[in-house]
């Protein structure tokens, strides 16, 4: 069965701005503002948003902070301007002052100081003026949370484990610089995370009071300063409205393969710590209620090769320790927990049938309301009166814009704010459709289909299949790194399926693909491809497949399963799963799905793409391999083994290597090379054009 739905999701010609007709290119995309980190002032009168774009030197992305009028009556204005740009970590104090992070230089620093300025914490007064430096640990500030009713902060910062204060941390850092030593010594596992080593500094959570004068923060409390095997990496933290305590996710490495993500309450006056959660699950994203009585969080069950992980929204009573599960009848994975103006309402977002929706939970009744029915809605900012929620909303056709919606009404389409950032609509002529199939087991599998404006039965378009990463993920909004409209402007149709293991379709969608990466997810993808190529506006004889991370894994798997595709693009991809366990940044976590390889490698070999070398050699599908040297999640060794195997077996292809990128291609000049090489590779194999190597390569 094949269905087409959601006419409201289509990019209509009326969405083309200024009569623009030129192709939607990488340069056009790079010129668009990238909105993130929306915040609402305590009085509800100002919205602040981080706006990213290409820096003046063209060699990096840079972010500035802008102020937007929630009523839409006053034009947006830029608040910060610096060569270094600002970070997305922002928070309002109760008086309306704005905290933000930046690597801008300290104007009061002594001349001749070595090195670049650290990513420091700054304060911008509510009435404007020059921001002042509050805190500048040499390892940088990673995030901040501010008490609503006190001048007390929770700060994420990278410090040497045993450094009692910033002065000691700086002395130890300077000693390493003076000696020219970059070596690291480890006695535990893991030692890496995504794109950096866990040393010599690690993430800490600090508390601090902001002085009344104009000086920097002087007094810090460093929680767990001397505890080995502990870091506050990624989990999040929050501070109570009165500033008296912090709740943070404390990651405890307890040997291989055990890692615990505990919720811990820290008293900001005494430093006393109290663990809030039993070690029968992992926790993330704590949010303290406005009255300080409860903390909400996401609980992740520990999985096994037989049982997929499950996510739940929980509420912890800080007086009794009782843990209550909320919204347990909503079969979704909650994210980004946000309290309303009082302790009666909690909001969250979740992937939802090809969208990312906002939900409201009324604590008294337990009732859950889905507030938005379409688009990717994030960064929820409830107004102080409890009537309105501001947010960022993107779609497959449009990057994020600031919107508002009613805090009570179900299944709304949010309204864009006037006088906001960026353009209304976007210059894409692509047609976007929501499509789907019914798999052999009766499961509905959804996808987005992006069509060039020229696609028709008289002129069918070649097809490119995009496979998302994760694999626990979903195509549900605008994508900067995998943008289908750039391909559509070149004449390619793009289908973006959500196969088994995709989120937003209930626990069943995870269960049916758990532990069998090349099983049901692969058959779902092939069934979706079969359905799309049967359309009269698609040329089924000219198809390609591409993906990154897990999508790259699937691209490699497909290369050894079928010869139906003319070309395959594999980015940051997994190739040899047995060795991958030992080279990725946290191999033991894979044991929760694939099993213990020291006991049985079967779970790894069964779905390792390298096990299909003979079939891959017979198919000889041309492959473009792309990888970054700094990728620790999928190390460069995976690409090197794959490339060696391809050359040994005579499989045609190319290898695009980035020595200065990690799991993602982030620098604008590298993004241009990425898209340009991918498009030229697709042109060669789907359009019969000669491959054009960029002159810079």
- Identify the weakest region by mean pLDDT among 132-146, 160-174, 423-437: 423-437
Q: Is the pLDDT of residue 218 over 90?
A: no
Model confidence over 230-262: pLDDT tens digits?
888 887 999 999 999 999 999 998 777 778 899
**Which pLDDT band, with edges at 50, 70 and 90, does 88 fall under?**
confident
pLDDT above 90 as % of the chain: 86
**Which pLDDT band, with edges at 50, 70 and 90, does 3 fall under?**
very low
DSSP SS3 for 312: strand
Model confidence over 362-399: pLDDT tens digits?
999 999 999 999 999 999 999 999 999 999 999 999 99
Model confidence over 36-46: pLDDT tens digits?
999 999 999 99
Show Cβ contacts of residue 176 under 8 Å, excluding neighbours closer than 6 positions. 182, 200
Q: Residue 97's closest CA among 136, 141, 131, 64?
A: 131
Q: Residue 289's closest CA among 327, 337, 350?
A: 337
Nearest-angstrom CA–CA distance, 130 and 257:
49
Of 94, 126, 158, the position where a domain reaches its end is: 126
Domains held by the chain: number: 2
Residue 604: inside a domain: yes
**Which pLDDT band, with edges at 50, 70 and 90, does 227 fall under?**
confident
Q: Is the pLDDT of residue 16 over 50?
A: no
Are 288 and 295 in contact, with CB atoms under 8 Å apart?
yes
User: Mean pLDDT across the stretch 409-414?
Assistant: 97
Are 402 and 72 in contact, with CB atoms under 8 Å apart?
no
Q: Residue 678 maps to which CATH number?
A: 3.40.50.1820
pLDDT for 165 equals 87
Q: Is the pLDDT of residue 652 over 70?
A: yes
Beta bridge partners of 92: 98
Count of Cβ atoms closer than 10 Å to residue 596 Cβ = 15
Model confidence over 580-636: pLDDT tens digits?
999 999 998 999 999 999 999 999 999 999 999 999 999 999 999 999 999 999 999
229's tokens:
């095997």
Show Cβ contacts of residue 278 under 8 Å, excluding neighbours closer than 6 positions. none
242's tokens:
């009165």
Nearest-angstrom CA–CA distance, 431 and 12:
7
Of 91, 126, 161, the position where a domain reaches its end is: 126
User: Mean pLDDT across the stretch 137-149?
Assistant: 96
Q: Is the pLDDT of residue 443 over 70?
A: yes
Q: Is the pLDDT of residue 113 over 80?
A: no
Which residue bears the tokens 């929630």?
70
Show Cβ contacts of residue 669 under 8 Å, excluding neighbours closer than 6 positions. 58, 59
pLDDT for 212 equals 81
Nearest-angstrom CA–CA distance, 393 and 403:
6
Burial 643-672 (b: 16+ CB within 10 A, else e): bebbeeeebebbebebeebbbbbbbbebbb
Range of the domain at 60: 34-106+116-126
pLDDT for 9 equals 38
Q: Could you tell me which residue, 651 or 226, shows the higher pLDDT?
A: 651
pLDDT for 422 equals 78
Residue 582: inside a domain: yes
Of 72, 91, 126, the position where a domain reaches its end is: 126
Are 183 and 197 in contact, with CB atoms under 8 Å apart?
no
Question: First CA to last CA across the chain, in angstroms?
Answer: 46
Q: Residue 247's closest CA among 258, 259, 232?
A: 232
pLDDT for 22 equals 67
**Which pLDDT band, with edges at 50, 70 and 90, does 128 fall under?**
confident
Provide the whole-model pTM: 0.95
Show Cβ contacts of residue 572 under 8 Å, excluding neighbours closer than 6 positions. 548, 549, 552, 626, 627, 628, 631, 633, 634, 663, 664
Burial 411-448 (b: 16+ CB within 10 A, else e): ebebeebeebbbeebbbbbbbbbbbbbebeeebebbbb
Beta bridge partners of 449: 433, 495
pLDDT for 216 equals 81
Surface-to-core class of residue 331, CB atoms within 10 Å of its CB (0-12 exposed, 13-18 middle, 19+ buried): middle
Surface-to-core class of residue 107, CB atoms within 10 Å of its CB (0-12 exposed, 13-18 middle, 19+ buried): exposed
């Amino acid at each position: 069965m094949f269905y087409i739905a959601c006419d409201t999701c289509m990019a209509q010609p009326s969405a083309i701005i200024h009569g623009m007709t030129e192709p939607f290119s990488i340069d056009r995309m790079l010129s668009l503002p990238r909105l993130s980190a929306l915040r609402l002032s305590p009085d509800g009168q100002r919205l602040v948003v981080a706006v990213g774009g290409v820096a003046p030197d063209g060699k990096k992305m840079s972010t500035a902070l802008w102020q937007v009028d929630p009523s839409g009556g006053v034009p947006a204005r830029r608040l910060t301007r610096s060569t270094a740009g600002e970070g997305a970590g922002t928070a309002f104090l109760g008086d309306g002052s704005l905290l933000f992070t930046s690597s801008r230089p300290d104007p009061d620093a002594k001349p001749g100081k070595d090195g670049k300025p650290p990513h420091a914490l700054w304060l911008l007064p509510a009435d404007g003026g020059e921001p002042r430096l509050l805190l500048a640990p040499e390892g940088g500030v990673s995030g901040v949370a501010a008490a609503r009713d006190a001048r007390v902060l929770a700060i994420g910062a990278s410090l040497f484990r045993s450094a009692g204060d910033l002065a000691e941390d700086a002395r130890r850092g300077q000693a390493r610089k003076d000696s020219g030593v970059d070596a690291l010594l480890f006695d535990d596992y893991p030692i890496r995370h995504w794109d950096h080593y866990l040393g010599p500094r690690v993430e800490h959570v600090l508390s601090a009071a902001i002085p009344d004068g104009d000086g920097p923060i002087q007094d810090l409390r460093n929680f767990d300063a001397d505890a080995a095997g502990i870091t506050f990496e990624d989990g999040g933290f929050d501070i109570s409205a009165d500033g008296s305590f912090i709740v943070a996710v404390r990651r405890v490495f307890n040997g291989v393969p055990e890692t615990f993500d505990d919720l811990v309450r820290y008293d900001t006056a005494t430093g006393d710590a109290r663990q809030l959660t039993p070690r029968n699950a992992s926790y993330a994203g704590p949010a303290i209620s406005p009255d300080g009585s409860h903390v909400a969080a996401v609980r992740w069950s520990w999985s096994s090769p037989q049982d997929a992980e499950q996510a739940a929204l929980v509420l912890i009573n800080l007086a009794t320790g009782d843990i209550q599960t909320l919204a347990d009848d909503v079969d979704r994975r909650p994210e980004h927990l946000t309290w309303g103006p009082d302790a009666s309402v909690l909001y969250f977002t979740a992937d939802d049938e090809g969208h990312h929706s906002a939900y409201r939970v009324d604590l008294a009744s337990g009732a859950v309301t889905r507030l938005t029915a379409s688009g990717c809605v994030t960064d929820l900012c409830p107004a102080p009166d409890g009537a309105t929620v501001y947010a960022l909303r993107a779609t497959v056709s449009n990057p994020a814009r600031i919107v508002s919606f009613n805090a009570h009404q179900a299944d709304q389409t949010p309204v864009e704010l006037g006088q906001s950032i960026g353009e209304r609509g976007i210059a894409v002529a692509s047609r976007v459709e929501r499509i789907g199939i019914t798999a052999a087991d009766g499961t509905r599998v959804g996808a987005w289909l992006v069509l060039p404006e020229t696609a028709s039965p008289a002129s069918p378009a070649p097809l490119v299949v995009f496979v998302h990463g994760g694999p626990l993920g979903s195509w549900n909004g605008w994508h900067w790194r995998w943008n289908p409209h750039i391909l559509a402007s070149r004449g390619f149709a793009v289908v973006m399926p959500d196969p088994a293991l995709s989120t937003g379709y209930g626990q069943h969608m995870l269960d049916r693909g758990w532990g069998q990466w090349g099983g049901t997810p692969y058959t779902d993808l092939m069934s979706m491809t079969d359905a799309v190529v049967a359309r009269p506006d698609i040329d089924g004889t000219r198809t390609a497949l591409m993906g990154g991370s897990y999508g790259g894994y699937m691209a490699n798997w497909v290369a050894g399963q079928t010869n139906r595709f003319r070309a395959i693009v594999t980015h940051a991809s997994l190739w040899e799963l047995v060795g991958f366990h030992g080279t990725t940044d946290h191999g033991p976590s894979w044991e929760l799905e694939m099993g213990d390889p020291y006991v049985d490698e079967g779970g790894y070999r069964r779905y390792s793409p390298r096990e299909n070398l003979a079939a891959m050699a017979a198919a000889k599908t041309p492959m473009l391999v792309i990888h970054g040297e700094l990728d620790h999640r999928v190390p460069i060794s995976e690409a090197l083994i794959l490339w060696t195997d391809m050359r040994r077996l005579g499989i045609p292809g190319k290898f695009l290597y980035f020595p200065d990128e990690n799991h993602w291609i982030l620098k604008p000049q590298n993004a241009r090379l990425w898209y340009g090489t991918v498009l030229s590779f697709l042109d060669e194999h789907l359009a019969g054009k000669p491959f054009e190597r960029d002159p810079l390569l």
